[in-house]
Structure 1
Amino acid sequence: MMDRRDVTAALAALSLGAIRPALALSEPAPERPLRIAMLLYPGMTALDVVGPQAFLAGLSPGTLHLVAKAEGPVPSDTGLSLLATTSLAACPGDLDVLFVPGGDGTPAQMRDPEIRAFLRDRAARAGWVASVCTGSLILGAAGLLEGYRATSHWCVRDAVLPLLGAEPVDERVVFDRNRVTAAGVSAGLDLGLALAARLRGADYARTSQLVAAYAPQPPFRAGTPEEAGPAITEAARRILETLTTDARAAARDLQRR
């Protein structure tokens, strides 16, 4: 039975040409390991990172960088830590994918000039600039979504994205030129597959999906406010109120500068 390392190696081999997709969604990138940087910061949501990383790791054996201000463990918003392998300063300058997750720590990152400067610098040369959940607000705070269609977590999508110059879109994954943004948390899995398809073709993405047995059948239909109904939505809004309020305040502060 294959373990996780075997699966990653197999997908890496697939991405490097073992299968040449007949139905590529765009012209495939050169068949080399891709350079991917995924930002980590205190208070991120771990699944925002781990979901897409599961589908992108096979594209970047040895060249996927988990980037933070300093190498070492970075705590998520539920206490689970992820290990940063590369500092901001050591992150490669030319990237195929620059990725930003969301989480409770989003407002602090929106206000952080070092993070904003890092994102602006790397995005200027990146093939794709991507985010999951409220990570799009961090991109927006860096000026990287002005004039772009984008999505985010439903609690901030329509209220905060316009303050950052973006056009909010109520979709699971939104592509606009080389920007790709995903809705809340679990949508990161969809972003990982959609982006893998753009980078290596539809057959690669389908194979990744099958390896992961990604065939969601949630026990409840409550993943959007429309499905959840008013009472559940109000309970969720109360849980998310601090994040929503602080993100809106950070965006307004940036507008005043």
Structure 2
Amino acid sequence: MKKLKTGLFLYPGMTMLDAYGPLQFLAFVRGLETFTFAESSAPLPCDAGIQLMPDYSFEDCPDIDILLVPGAGNPLEQMQNSRVLEHLRHVGENAQYITSVCSGALILAEAGLLDGYEAATHWAYRETLEKLADVTVVNKRVSVDRNRITGGGVTAGIDFALSLTAELFGPEEAQLLQLMFEYHPKPPFNSGSPETASAEAVKIARHEIASIAPDLMQYAEERSIARTLTA
């Protein structure tokens, strides 16, 4: 069986777990060939302060059947990088599946790859995503809308990987993968979403995230106004 080539886009400042959480699972799916790529093949820093080494650059990257775009605390630099957006659009023209984790959905939206689709993202970026494109933003751990599969925030990347595996190869394959990795989460606290966390925790989290990406919020507001004027 020909393996589907799954390319994970890396970029400076990205959230490492957004990409490497799914990668750890998908690398063990028998029908997939997984690799990473970036604008250049040079090492790049992630938000955890360590260097990531892409397998390929834009120039020598193989064809991609499944595109995965991870998120970052502030993905605006990639959203405004015309070379990145052009490359993602090019990949998207031929990819069987276009996917993201966390705020990676914002990059896909800016590339025009989520127009007319349902999508999930990190809870703190849902309003931002709505302002960027003609996309139906949903409060889901994983959203599957035709060939667009999008995960919520950071750790949702693992659920995303299992959902993608089930979509491609059936639930039995995904269940086996989940068992092999003993993915049986029982977090010590019930504060993983704004619906279950305390009001004070949500307030602090919103403030922290806004301080990371104030320019992103302003950009999204300007994009929303521009879209309204041209509608």
TM-score, with normalisation over the residues of structure 2? Answer: 0.91
Q: Which residue of 2 aligns with 1:177?
A: 146
Contact 1:42 1:74 in 2 (8 A): yes
Tell me the C-alpha RMSD between the 2 structures: 1.9
**Larger relative CO (CA 8 A, sep 6+): 1 or 2?**
1
Q: Which residue of 1 aligns with 2:16?
A: 46
Which of 65, 68, 71 is the matching residue for 1:102? 71
Q: Which residue of 2 aligns with 1:164?
A: 133
Which of 23, 47, 50 is the matching residue for 1:80? 50
Which of 79, 82, 86 is the matching residue for 1:113? 82
Q: Determine what percentage of the aligned residue pairs are the same residue.
A: 38
Q: Which residue of 2 aligns with 1:55?
A: 25
Q: Which residue of 2 aligns with 1:246?
A: 215
Contact 2:123 2:152 in 1 (8 A): yes
2 CA distance for matches of 1:149 and 1:219?
31
> Which runs of 5 or more structure 1 residues have no equivalent in the other structure?
1-30
Cα 1:197–1:78 change in 2 (3 A) is same
Q: CA deviation at 1:42?
A: 0.4
1 CA distance for matches of 2:25 and 2:170?
13
Contact 2:73 2:212 in 1 (8 A): yes
> What is the aligned length?
226
1:143 aligns with 2:112: yes
Q: Which residue of 2 aligns with 1:20?
A: none
User: Which sits farther off after the overlay, 200-209 or 112-121?
Assistant: 200-209
Superposed CA offset, 1:59-86 (max 9, x none): 3789422111111322111212221010
Contact 2:73 2:213 in 1 (8 A): no
Q: CA deviation at 1:144?
A: 0.6
Q: Which residue of 1 aligns with 2:161?
A: 192
1 CA distance for matches of 2:157 and 2:7?
15
Q: Which residue identity lines up with residue 83 of structure 1 in the other structure?
A: M
Cα 1:62–1:83 change in 2 (3 A) is farther
- Secondary structure of 2:94's partner? coil
2 CA distance for matches of 1:254 and 1:233?
26
Contact 2:128 2:220 in 1 (8 A): no
